[in-house]
Amino acid sequence: MKSPPPSVTSAIEAWRQEIGENAVAADPEFLTTYTESACASQRQVIAVLMPGSLEDVQKIVATANTHKVPIYPVSGGKQWGMGSRLPVTDGAAIVDLKRMNRIVEVNAQYHYAVVEPGVTQRQLLDHIKANNLPLMLNVTGSSSDTSLIGNAMDRGVGYFDSRAHGISNMQVVLGNGETIQTGFGHYANAKTKNLYPHGIGPSLDGLFPQANFGIVTSACIDLMPKPDEHMAAIIKIDSEEKLPQLIDALVLLRSRGVFLTVAHVGNRERSYTTLAPLLYEQLIGAGESEGEATRTKAIKMLEDGGFGPWSAAIGVLGTKAQLKLAKKEIRTAVSGFAKTLFLNDALVARAKAVAEKLAFIPAVRKQLMLLSAVEPVYGFTRGEATDESLKSVYWAAGDFQNMGEPDPDHSNSGVLFCLPIIPAFGETVLAVARDTRDTFARHGFEAAITVNLMTTKAMEGVVGLAFDRRNEEQTRAAHACIQEMEARYMEQGYPPYRVGINSMHHVVCEDDPFWRTVRDLKQTLDPNNIIAPGRYNLI
């Protein structure tokens, strides 16, 4: 292995002196744990830095500037399918912010939390529960241990809203060494710094999501007041031809204010990879043998349960009267072409109690298993995070022996994502879904597709590709498929809102004055180009 240049050696030694020996790792074996990735990409990383405070981050940035050594910040590094912890370019030191995991403040009256970047969904939810606070979190469908700030910085989408809409009052160490506070946060006595996001003067908050200008070391995260009542609507259609009707009905319901959360609409592949592993585990627990026969049985149970080509999940929050009206409106909107199941806490508890008493009846036992499989999805709609969704990664990739692994980076499973923004119009969504499926099929894959209605105008596409990382030919085909798919989305006028480390070239272009302006900002805020070179930028 080639020796690092003197500048790198000097930087590593300086970091050890400044933030401590235990906070700096450059051992090749240790670095391997950071460079394994579910997307099956590779990068050369010089070190991992683990700051424990704002002061540590300031020292890391100062030394990086002195020695002109690039750094790549991650909050939890759980960007599975988009690059995980890997930098866009070789030669950087990863700055892992997981030790900065203080919950600075949780305010129930104004429903917000001020947190550091290492704070996870699980940690904040545990805090809310332990303190019996009447609050809900805009959870994502990923692991409980994903970072709140990290996800918001790449504009992740939760079950209630885009995470980028709910982050403000950021404390940021810029690449030039300055530390700033956005909004009103830079006024020491501002009592409204976590209440009004814009502050006064130019709003700088928008500069930092999907940018490489600085490292966010704390921020205000919006929470939601816990509603009087909650229910989930599960809507299923038996033919893909009905997808435009379903999408247009959801848009109409959203425009009327019947629900104000994100509606998640998934195809058969997405539903089955999410629910089948949970059914499979229940079947094993009930005495079935591990293997293909039982996996097939789990799929058959989903088919019998009416999970057809597409199904939708919506969380509805409000008063008892509002939910009663919403149920009526939803039934009316999808009447004649879809079947709807409504779930709430009381109904789930009653159904489980009855089913458990009658579990000796095979049909009832199957219904209980289906209900248990759907329960984590129902939990998302009421602000609960889970690790159960990770099993879909292993199931889809055929990596059944790793179903209990908490980090897909350290498994045999491969996963890649495309994330286009699509107009919220049924016929358009159907056309994009079919083109996506055809493109994947040409490369030998099935597309797991979710289209999430974020507003009455736009839908977030989440297109997943699963593969076996042990198979080199399949890995190459997977990457070729994603590259073609992203290029097709761009050609069709549906740019992605988020890309992985191998796809910056699809969205960043030197001929575009927008990206030249972003580069100019970089040269002002990070003149030595030390923070995340190449990430959503020309440099």
- DSSP string over 492-524: HT--BSS--TT-HHHH--TT-HHHHHHHHHHHH
Q: How confident is the model at residue 353 (pLDDT cuts 50, 70, 90)?
A: confident
CA–CA gap between residue 413 and residue 450 (Å, rounded)? 20
Alpha helices (runs of H) in 112-209, residue ranges in sequence order? 121-130, 148-153
CATH architecture of 103-225: 2-Layer Sandwich (3.30)
Which of the residue ranges 41-50, 130-139, 315-324, 369-378 would you say has the lowest mean pLDDT?
369-378
Q: How confident is the model at residue 306 (pLDDT cuts 50, 70, 90)?
A: confident
pLDDT tens profile 427-439 = 999 999 999 999 9
CA–CA gap between residue 285 and residue 6 (Å, rounded)? 57
Cα 368 from chain centre: 29
Instruction: List the one residue out of 97, 41, 4 whose CA is nearest residue 503.
Output: 41
pLDDT at 523: 97
Instruction: List the one residue out of 102, 134, 327, 329 whose CA is nearest residue 232.
Output: 327
The dotted CATH code for 6-98 is 3.30.43.10
pLDDT at 361: 66
CA–CA gap between residue 127 and residue 130 (Å, rounded)? 5
pLDDT above 70 (res 411): yes
Which of the residue ranges 108-112, 245-249, 369-373, 442-446 would you say has the lowest mean pLDDT?
369-373
CATH topology for 412-500 is: Vanillyl-alcohol Oxidase; Chain A, domain 3 (3.40.462)
Which residues are CB-neighbours of 97 under 8 A, at least 6 positions away?
51, 57, 73, 74, 75, 116, 117, 118, 147, 150, 215, 217
pLDDT above 90 (res 483): yes
Q: How confident is the model at residue 360 (pLDDT cuts 50, 70, 90)?
A: low
pLDDT tens profile 59-72 = 999 999 999 999 99
CA–CA gap between residue 520 and residue 97 (Å, rounded)? 27
Which of the residue ranges 25-29, 162-166, 236-240, 356-360 would you say has the lowest mean pLDDT?
356-360
Q: How confident is the model at residue 374 (pLDDT cuts 50, 70, 90)?
A: confident
Work out the average pLDDT over 15-28: 97
| Average pLDDT for the chain | 95
pLDDT at 488: 97
pLDDT tens profile 95-104 = 999 999 999 9
Q: Would you kindly state where each structural domain of the chain is located, as residue ranges?
A: 6-98, 103-225, 229-386, 412-500
pLDDT at 96: 98
pLDDT tens profile 515-538 = 999 999 999 999 999 999 999 999
Torsion angles phi and psi, residue 94, rounded to 5: -75, 130
pLDDT tens profile 119-148 = 999 999 999 999 999 999 999 999 999 999
Q: How confident is the model at residue 352 (pLDDT cuts 50, 70, 90)?
A: confident
